[in-house]
């Protein structure tokens, strides 16, 4: 893959030999839309100084999903990726050219595309809209909503070459003129526990891009808790049912998409009995998973952590 980066970056691209100041430079190879949008907003120092690239069509197979983002600044830096990493420098170069001409572009790559020498790793094809950002406020408002833990739908109107926020979702074309990109807040993982299981789970979750909050007994006593919303998962890694009770009750009275707790099947039955005695219904208790993790009998803290984070991510409705 690194060889492909070098070949595409340094070669003339479709009859265009870039000047030194046009050469793309990788800033961050991330698939996190929050990070790409933040890069674009910060790079937008003047109207037309950054391009936001969106994957708007998939033909056959694709490494990335519909709505995948990439941003390119007028100084050649780019953030994000749209395929397996082999086309990004070439696409960034096209975006720099678009910035300099101040006109949006549509790029068809791979199968059925306009550039016959660019083949995608999956042998499929994608269409990418290159939008020259003219309204920085739209990016700022989108990022503010995400920071406030609200989903946001960023729409691109092809006829006006403009971005705006909308309440429509899911991601995709609304009609022939408007493409909507629905972006969710990052998964928040609320953890309570101790020892190697807690440390390993927090480490794996952070590596996977989750927002991690570790709850202490003092936080529960003083009610200094973060909000448990529908993009939050709550996981208890304790071996004492009474110590987990307060957080479990808070979770059951909130709207997390996942609640899980450590312990054997027998321990889980005791947990459910305790919650029944506290007035929770059978319907509510169906949402409490135990033993937590796709590999509940894992003996290693690291493997247990991996299985827990995998189960959490897999359980989020409508993907991540």
Query: pLDDT at position 229, please?
Result: 95
N-to-C CA span, the chain: 26
Query: pLDDT at position 117, please?
Result: 58
Q: How far is CA 142 from the centre of its chain?
A: 14
**Among the residues of 130-215, which ranges form H helices?**
136-147, 195-207
Structural domains for the chain:
2-183 (no CATH), 188-310 (3.40.50.720)
The three-class DSSP label of residue 291 is coil
Q: Which residue has the tokens 């990418």?
A: 128
Length of the chain, please? 320
Query: pLDDT at position 84, please?
Result: 75
Please enumerate in sequence order all residues whose Cβ is within 8 A of that of 121, keeping only pairs 6 or more positions apart, or say none. Answer: 63, 83, 84, 86
**298-314: buried (b, 16+ CB within 10 Å) or exposed (e) per residue?**
beebeebbbbbbebbbe
- Beta strand ranges found along the chain (DSSP E): 25-28, 50-59, 69-73, 77-80, 105-110, 125-132, 152-157, 162-166, 172-173, 178-183, 188-193, 211-214, 232-237, 258-261, 288-289
Query: pLDDT at position 121, please?
Result: 65
Query: pLDDT at position 16, please?
Result: 45
Asked if residue 64 lies in contact with residue 124, where contact means CB atoms within 8 angstroms, the answer is: no
Query: pLDDT at position 225, please?
Result: 79
Question: Is the alpha carbon torsion for 226, 231, 235, 241 positive or negative?
Answer: positive
Query: pLDDT at position 19, please?
Result: 56
| Low-confidence spans in the chain with pLDDT less than 70 | 1-21, 112-119, 121-122, 296, 319-320
Query: pLDDT at position 222, please?
Result: 84
Question: Of the candidates 58, 132, 123, 126, which has an alpha carbon nearest to the alpha carbon of residue 88?
Answer: 126
Please give the torsion angle defined by the CA atoms of residues 105, 80, 61 and 118, in that order, rounded to the nearest 10 degrees.
60
Question: Of the candidates 34, 270, 271, 164, which has an alpha carbon nearest to the alpha carbon of residue 260?
Answer: 271
What pTM was computed for the model? 0.85
Please enumerate in sequence order all residues whose Cβ is within 8 A of that of 99, keeping only pairs 6 or more positions apart, or say none. Answer: 48, 49, 50, 51, 72, 74, 132
* DSSP bridge partners of 109: 126
Q: Which residue has the tokens 């479990």?
A: 248
Q: Tens digits of per-residue pLDDT, 218-270? A: 998 887 778 899 999 999 999 889 899 999 999 999 999 999 999 899 999 99
Query: pLDDT at position 320, please?
Result: 52
């Amino acid at each position: 893959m690194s060889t492909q980066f070098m070949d595409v970056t340094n070669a003339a691209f479709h009859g265009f030999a870039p000047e030194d100041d046009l050469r793309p430079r990788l800033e961050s190879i991330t698939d996190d839309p929050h990070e790409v949008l933040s890069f674009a907003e910060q790079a937008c120092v003047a109207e037309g100084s950054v391009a936001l690239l969106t994957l708007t069509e998939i033909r056959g197979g694709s490494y990335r999903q519909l709505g995948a983002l990439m941003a390119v600044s007028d100084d050649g830096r780019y953030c994000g990726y749209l395929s397996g990493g082999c086309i990004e420098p070439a696409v960034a170069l096209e975006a720099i050219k678009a910035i300099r001409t101040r006109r949006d572009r549509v790029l068809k790559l791979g199968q059925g595309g306009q550039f016959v020498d660019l083949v995608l790793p999956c042998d499929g094809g994608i269409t990418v809209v290159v939008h020259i950002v003219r309204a920085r406020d739209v990016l700022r408002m989108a990022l503010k909503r995400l920071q406030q833990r609200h989903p946001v739908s960023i729409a691109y109107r092809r006829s006006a070459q403009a971005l705006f926020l909308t309440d429509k979702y899911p991601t995709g074309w609304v009609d022939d003129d408007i493409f909507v990109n629905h972006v969710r807040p990052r998964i928040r993982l609320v953890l309570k526990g101790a020892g190697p299981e807690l440390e390993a789970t927090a480490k794996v979750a952070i590596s996977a891009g989750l927002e991690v909050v570790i709850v202490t007994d003092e936080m529960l006593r003083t009610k200094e808790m973060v909000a448990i919303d529908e993009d939050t998962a709550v996981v208890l890694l304790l071996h004492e049912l009474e110590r987990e009770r307060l957080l479990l009750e808070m979770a059951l009275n909130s709207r997390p998409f996942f609640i899980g707790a450590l312990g054997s099947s027998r321990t889980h039955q005791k947990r459910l009995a305790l919650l029944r005695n506290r007035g929770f219904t059978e319907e509510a208790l169906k949402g409490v998973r135990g033993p937590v993790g796709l590999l509940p009998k894992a003996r290693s803290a690291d493997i247990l952590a991996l299985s827990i984070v995998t189960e959490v991510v897999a359980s989020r409705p409508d993907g991540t």
